[in-house]
A and B are shown apart, each in its own frame.
Chain A
Amino acid sequence: MIRLKCHIGMGAPVQGIALVAEDDFSARYDLDRKRGVFSRPTHALAGQSYRDRILVFNTAKGGVASAWMLHEMKASGIFPLAILFNRANTILAQGGAFADMAMCDRFEDGDVTRLIRTGDEVLVEPEQGLVTILNR
């Protein structure tokens, strides 16, 4: 197991498979939320499903819509289990708070998009400020 300390996050603990990109994230700019896939052709995860994944990005980008969208995505049943950032912006954090979605950022050991790999089994414990890679 690899334990990664981060800033105190938000949301209940979740466990799932990581989907990682050295890219930024906006629910508005990057997703087809009906199909549950990354739809922006230039996004590093274009074409991949985000459903039930633990997404790992550098930071958030773009506009304010994501704050509503995470809530609507959760209600629709097609949503990521958690989102981890090197640094969240206010909108994604507000969206996480509104949707009650697990979210963490500011990792002590460096770039989280390099610390976690796509396919890793990850346990996210926001209230402890702790993310554990279970398979390594």
Chain B
Amino acid sequence: MRLNDEESAMLAGEMGEPKRWAMEHMLRVGRFFDAEDLVSVAQAHMMGDPESFGEAGAAFVEGLAAHPEAERRVAIPMITDPRGVDLQRYRPLGQTEDMANLERRFIAACQALGIMMTDTCINYQTFMPPMRGEHVAYGDTGVVIYCNSALGARSNFEGGPSALAAGLTGRTPRYGYHLDSFRRATRRYVVRSQPRGLTDWGVLGAVIGRKAGSYWEVPAIEGLERVPTSDEMKHLGAAMASWGSTALFHLVGITPEAPTLGDVEAGSLAAEAITEDDLAALRGRFGADGEKVDVVVFAAPQLSLVEMRDVAALCAGRKIHSETALIVCTPAAVYADAERMGFVGQIEDAGGMVLQGTCFYQQYAREIGEANGWKRLLSNSAKIVNILGGYGYEPALASMEDCVASAIAGKVVRA
């Protein structure tokens, strides 16, 4: 890979060990993907929850944080994905002091590196959305797919260590979705059944992601009769990324790089219809009805202020069933507004729990499930029901309205 003088100096260790490690890591990755050089990035966003990074990851970041300040500080604005422990509310969830301490160590190390602890997977709704054409290094697949697709930014999926390397150096290897040639459509789908509500958008994303089936496929999607809202795009993208490892899609006539099919070179691709049968087949995998529900979860992605308002309105004046938990995850930035506007109070008065800066599946989902006896889980997120099967849950999918109604009834009810 071609390096400029500053990059060569970083690799040689002349700017400190953290940047040397970062360069070495990026060269390994860049070589694997045939990157010719590095590209400057404007922001980095790091996923890191203690269940994922573990003792070894915490020790690694602490090692970087032990270097002199001039060597360890990140070079660009760098923010974080959700935490795994809400340090104000972990005991009621059955999380342990060991889990909390691992989280505390990671937070302290990140702060020493100059990372801003936003703890959010909806930074495009709460922090500083990237510009079209801006190169960034984002973690969290939902963040990447939204910013690539809805905003026209340029990012690969960056795992925690790679996002950290990007933050330390202000660079990332130039491969994949940083390159024009990878952003053209490779699959073409025509939507024949219009989504209604957030869950439907997630189901549509899951179906397309599952069909596309690879990080390197770029779906061009036609047939939508209206422009989705930001929350609808969020669920569409998060589910597509979860089910397909998809990092970029185009909505023809809607998203910025695809005014027409021709703009993303999709005109010659065979079109595949997405029918009601396709959507129903996916829903049918998560279709519990009338069964007892242990926990209802609103998360993955974290809730926007609008979603917080809507969940609160459904909970207002009601009581969650005594044998069912209701958990809502939102970033601290949204929590502050939602508390001020009374939404948090309405959810808590009904018996729900609102967590700050975490996301359910990233917070030791297996351990908290076992600690609380949660097995049958209900959510409106097509992403989370895909993830949690491997964590010992029996996940089911329903609309936001049906999720709250089920939490109140203590069993899955559908309007």
Distance A46 CA – B386 CA, assembled complex (angstroms): 16
Total cross-chain contacts (CB, 8 A)? 141
B216 touches A68 (CB 8 A): no
Query: Can you list, as one digit per residue, whether each of B149-163 has a CB less than 8 Å from chain A (1) or not (0)?
Result: 000000011111110
Check if A108 is an interface residue, CB within 8 A of chain B. no
| Chain A residue contacts of B243, Cβ below 8 A | 61
Cα separation A24 to B210 with both chains bound (whole Å): 11
Q: Is the interface of B mostly helix, strand, loop or mixed?
A: helix
Closest Cβ–Cβ distance, residue B241 to chain A (whole Å): 8
A28-B244 CB under 8 A given contacts A65-B52, A97-B28: no
Report if A89 contacts B (CB, 8 A).
yes
User: Is the C-beta of B90 less than 8 angstroms from some C-beta in chain A?
Assistant: no
**Set B52, B57, B215: member contacting A59, Cβ < 8 A:** B215
Instruction: Chain A residues near B366: list those with CB within 8 A.
Output: 32
A68 and B29 contacting across the interface, CB-CB below 8 Å:
no
Find out whether the CB atom of A97 lies under 8 angstroms from the CB atom of B29.
yes
Are B157 and A68 in contact, CB atoms less than 8 angstroms apart? no
Q: Are A89 and B245 in contact (CB under 8 A)?
A: yes
Contact B215 A89 (CB under 8 A): yes
Stretch of A48-56, A70-78, A117-125 at the chain-chain interface: A70-78
Choose from B31, B53, B216, B244 the contact partner of A61 (Cβ within 8 Å).
B244
Residue A39 is within 8 A (CB to CB) of chain B in the complex: yes
Do residues A59 and B389 form an inter-chain contact, with CB atoms below 8 A? Answer: no
Q: Is the CB of A94 within 8 A of B158?
A: yes
Chain A proximity of B38: nearest CB distance (Å): 15
User: Whole-angstrom distance between the alpha carbons of A31 and B387 in the complex?
Assistant: 11
Residues of B within 8 A of A93 (CB): 29, 32-33
Judging by beta carbons under 8 Å apart, are A63 and B161 in contact? no
Complex contact B386–A89 (CB within 8 A): no
| Interface of chain A residues 81 through 115 with chain B (CB within 8 A) | 87-91, 93-98, 103
Question: 10 pairs across A/B with beta carbons < 8 Å?
Answer: A29-B390, A32-B390, A39-B392, A59-B245, A64-B81, A65-B47, A67-B159, A94-B158, A97-B25, A97-B32
User: Interface residues, chain B, CB within 8 Å of chain A?
Assistant: 25, 28-29, 31-33, 47-49, 52-57, 60, 81, 139-141, 156-162, 176, 213-216, 241-245, 362, 366, 386-387, 389-392
List the 3 shortest-distance A-B pairs measured between CB atoms, nearest first. A67-B159, A72-B54, A75-B56
